[in-house]
Structure 1
Amino acid sequence: MDTTRRNVLKGLGGALTLPMLEASTRQAQAAGSKDTPTRLLVVGNPLGAHPEHFFPADFGKSFTLSPTLRSLDWVKDRMTVISHTDHGMVNGHGREISFLNGVLPANAAAYPEKNMSVDQVMARHTSGMVRYSSVNAALERGIRMNWTANGTELEPFTDPQKLFDHLFLNLSADEKRIRRELIERNGSILDAVGGQFASLKQRASQSDKQRLEQYATAVRELEGSFADRKSWVDRDKPKFDVSEHFRDYEVTVENRYNAIFDMITYAFQTDMTRVATVGFPNELKYTDIDGVTRSYHGCTHNGQNEDIIAELVAIESFQIAQLSRCLKKLDSIKEPNAEGTMLDHTMVLFGSGMGYGGTHSNRNLPIMVIGGGFKHLGHVDARNASGTNMPLCNLYVTMLQRFGVERDKFNTSTGSFEMGWA
């Protein structure tokens, strides 16, 4: 192993194996080429951002970073901040769950993907190529970003230790045997259900057929999931040590998120997954951050009090600083089979399904994209000639295409977001 790579691995904080050699071989076999995979990392919050501090004051590639985004100065030429994009929903709480799909569960039947979130569309695309189709983490429940094709919310890992166990703890021989038996038993049950389903569908009404088709989608995904899981049971996971964070991870929000982001970075590096999401929930306490005395949610109800707004901006700046630290990790890792770094091959999306929690606005969502090999545009005004905000799903169409998913529409999209890639 070369010196540069050894230093990078040590920088991740642990005693590591040589996973990229095996992962690169698997990846090349799965893709039929030596192309480096494109990855997705979504970092989101449910309460938006204070607009005057988040959005830059000027547009174009040479824009001036806003106060909240200052920690991203080093990556400014590889980011695009998008103003005036949303999902076209009325203001109020409850709409923020549409961040990654553009539709609410009650309205999902009208769309081909129902309310499946864009990260899960990409995760489905990688099924069988990686150990985990996606990894979802937050320090508390409440972010509600991830939705399957049958409208089920995917709950994130909320304990960094449990996320570590999930990603890096190997099963014993007996546990592997039990897991194989369980997978085989569940697979046979699905086969039986599939036969009953076909018979039932022939006699169903039109509305019931729609419900059954939604169920069938879930069954097909489960069948694929069981098949994929069986192939991974006997493959050992890569080793990773995040003890430097776990020593006091219960004390500070920062250390706990450091652990989460580092684990996801290493999961990307070893090709355990290509899709990950990290959430900053609305009721999370940030009182270990200098100057913050209130809850995150409490700071959004600030009555335009400058002192409380300052606390809110401190929290939002902290979120961006955590993201910036993760981006630096990704940018420190050289891709073994391609030019550039892991950041150059990872689409990083930051945003929210709410524009600003202080007014419960669901317009002008705080959205930015970093890395991913895009030809970045700086700060963009996404309104059309008539002043109408761009559907956020237009951006998702472009990101899906960049990920390798061939499509020209996603839920409420009216086109794509014009941002090319190398």
Structure 2
Amino acid sequence: MIDRRNLLKLSAMGLAVPGQALAASKPISPRVKLKKNVVLVCLDLGMYAGNHREGGASCKYMTEYFSEFKDDMTFLQGISEPGMGGGHEVQPATFTGMRYDHRSHYPERQFISLDQRLASGSIQETRNKLLYHQVNKGDFVSWNQFAQPMPPTRGLNAFHEQVFSKTDLNKDKAYIKRERDILETLARNLRRYWKGSPQEVDLKASVAYQIEVLNEREKWLKVKKPYLKKGFAENAEASPLPSCHHNYQLVYDALEQEQTKLAVLQFGGGLTRNLEGITHGYHTLSHHGGYPERIYELEIIDNKVLGGLRDFVRKLKEGGLLDDTIVLFHSGMADASAHSNKNGAAFLFGGGFKHQNYLKCSVDEKGKEVKYTSSQLFSSVLKQSGFSNITFNGNKDVVPVLFGA
């Protein structure tokens, strides 16, 4: 068996979870060189449903925020994932297509988020293989192939520190050495007390994967890290939404200066701090119950998040990066007021897709179900990024019209 000391160390790193929480081992496909940058943006409790469920291409979000990107985006109206159900359990499943508590029902499927599928299946080409940044604290939305939540960088200052601050190479090397020593000790104990149980098989694969990640990180320590002076006031940390343009800007700077090819930008709870015109908490506003004053305040939050997204996409286009960058906005909740995941919205920008501007995913003109699902959308991102194995959450199909079919 694994000795207690090393099990505790592993748990502290987020590697050890109860046996039943470990996903079934899957063969690891050859890793690819990403053809595109990928930026995923999510709002934990979603937007006000009335503004994206009605009006199609003429809905408020399209006319007030994204009308300038007619040829560079696709609004996927009514997109969702069958079988997800509702409730707050769908929030961490924004980019997985499956709820964490449902994964045992589908042993043939891998519980992993889109960002981690891209990261684990690709070759590291930049210092940061993936930037997972929470503008403010929220549920985990990034999950590796062992159904383990990945730790985010929380807060504006910490994000800047991660990407552009001056670094202590000796400290970084010592950290990697310490983590590798822990993992190698665990691997030795696994070999020593090996029984061949499914949990041990999964744990062995997890340890090997984490060691590989550390080895790749160590290679990039030899490359000089660019330094970018902070362009925001220290009190911006206390105002996450009024200052969120800085978070978008740091993602842009990281792409432009080739510090990453993958990024997740998440807007979680606590969004109403220091936001003018807001008198309720974010959770109360998202569960508005139809009260006009709450809907009005919820739209203020949407305005900040989507306004920042618009400016980010605009900057990518002006900087010549949009065709090489897939930007996807998606949320676990389609209508938080009803605790529903059905008939949500996704905004897909750039990336060289055959964009449709508007695509109805739930029913066609004759009233028949079409159901382009979130998993099909995620498989489409994998295909456009250069993956040959595009299976995601058991789905092997893409959204065909995004490729001209």
Bin the TM-score by the shorter chain: 0.7 to 0.9
- In 2, distance between residues paired with 1:136 and 1:326? 17
Distance across 2 between alignment mates of 1:251 and 1:142: 16
Structure-1 separation of matches of 2:94 and 2:179:
33
For residues 123 and 186 of structure 2, the distance between their equivalents in structure 1, rounded to whole angstroms, comes to 22
1:265 aligns with 2:252: yes
Q: CA deviation at 1:381?
A: 1.5
Counterpart residue identity of residue 146, structure 1 = S
Match of 2:393 among 399, 406, 411: 411
The aligned counterpart of 2:153 is 157
Deviation readout 1:61-84 (Å, 9 max, x if unpaired): xx3242476122211321111122
2:118 aligns with 122
1:282 Cα shift?
Answer: 3.0
- 2:330 and 2:183 map into 1 onto residues whose CA distance is 37
What TM-score do you get using the length of structure 2 for normalisation? Answer: 0.83
In the superposition, relative to structure 1, how do residues 229 and 85 fare at CA in structure 2: closer, same or farther (>3 Å)? same
2:339 counterpart of 1:357? no
Tell me which amino acid in the other structure corresponds to 1:91: G
Closer, same or farther: CA 302–171 of 1 in aligned 2, 3 Å = closer
| Alpha-carbon distance change, 97 to 400 in structure 1, aligned in 2, over 3 angstroms | same
Cα gap change, 1:233/1:421 in structure 2, threshold over 3 Å: closer, same or farther? Answer: same
Alignment partners' CA distance in 1, 2:158 and 2:273: 22
Find 1:169's aligned residue among 165, 183, 205. Answer: 165
1:106–1:117 Cα change, 3 Å: same
Alignment of 1:68-83 (within 5 A): 70-83=64-77
Letter in 1 for 2:172: R
Matched-pair contact (CA < 8 Å) for 1:248–1:255: no
Q: Could you tell me how far apart the structure 1 residues matched to 2:174 and 2:301 are?
A: 47
Matching residue of 1:134: 130
Whether the 8 Å contact between 1:287 and 1:295 is mirrored in structure 2 is no
1:241 matched residue in structure 2: 229
Contact 1:123-1:275 within 8 A present in 2 as well: yes
Deviates further, 66-75 or 273-282:
66-75
1:29-108 pair list within 5 angstroms? 37-55=35-53, 57-58=55-56, 63-67=57-61, 70-88=64-82, 89-108=84-103
Mapped partners of 2:114, 2:95: distance in 1: 6
Alpha carbons 1:49, 1:356 under 8 Å: kept = yes
- CA drift of 1:197 comes to 3.2
> 1:408/1:253 Cα in 2 relative to 1: closer, same or farther (>3 Å)?
closer
Q: Shift in Å at residue 362 of structure 1?
A: 1.2
Distance 1:402 1:320 in 2: 24
Aligned residue number for residue 23 of structure 2:
none
Map 1:257-336; keep pairs closer than 5 Å.
Answer: 257-285=244-272, 288-289=275-276, 291-333=277-319
- Amino acid across the alignment from 1:370: F
Change in Cα spacing, 1:227 to 1:93, as seen in structure 2 (3 Å) is: same
Task: Work out which of the residue numbers 196, 204, 208 in structure 2 matches 1:216.
Answer: 204
Structure 2 distance, partners of 1:52, 1:318, is 17
Residue in structure 2 matching 1:227, options 215, 218, 239: 215
Distance (Å, rounded) in 1 between the aligned partners of 2:174 and 2:306: 44
Identity over the aligned pairs, expressed in percent? Answer: 20
2: distance between equivalents of 1:112 and 1:195? 29
1:86-110 CA-partner distances (Å, limit 9, x unpaired)? 2222222212211101112233353
Deviations 1:238-277 (A, max 9, x none): 122332x225414533453122111111111121111101
Aligned to 2:173: 180
SS at match of 1:249: helix
Provide the secondary structure at the position in 1 that maps to 2:157.
helix
Q: Which residue identity is paired with 2:337?
A: G
What is the alpha-carbon root mean square deviation over aligned residues? Answer: 2.6
- TM norm structure 1: 0.80
Displacement after TM superposition at 1:188 (Å): 4.8
Q: Which amino acid aligns with 1:50?
A: Y
Code of the residue aligned with 1:72 in structure 2: it is F
Superimposed CA distance per residue, residues 91-145 of structure 1 (whole angstroms, 9 cap, x where no aligned partner): 2221221110111223335356632101111112334321111111123221421
When residues 186 and 97 of structure 1 are mapped into structure 2, their CA distance, relative to the original with a 3 A threshold, is closer
Contact 1:397–1:415 (Cα < 8 Å) also in 2: yes
Please give the residue correspondences for 1:191-202 in structure 2 after superposition, counting only pairs within 5 Å.
191-198=184-191, 200-201=193-194
Rounded Cα–Cα distance in structure 2 between residues aligned with 1:158 and 1:312: 23
Could you tell me how far apart the structure 2 residues matched to 1:217 and 1:390 are?
A: 33
Q: List structure 1 segments (4+ residues) > 6 angstroms apart after TM superposition.
A: none
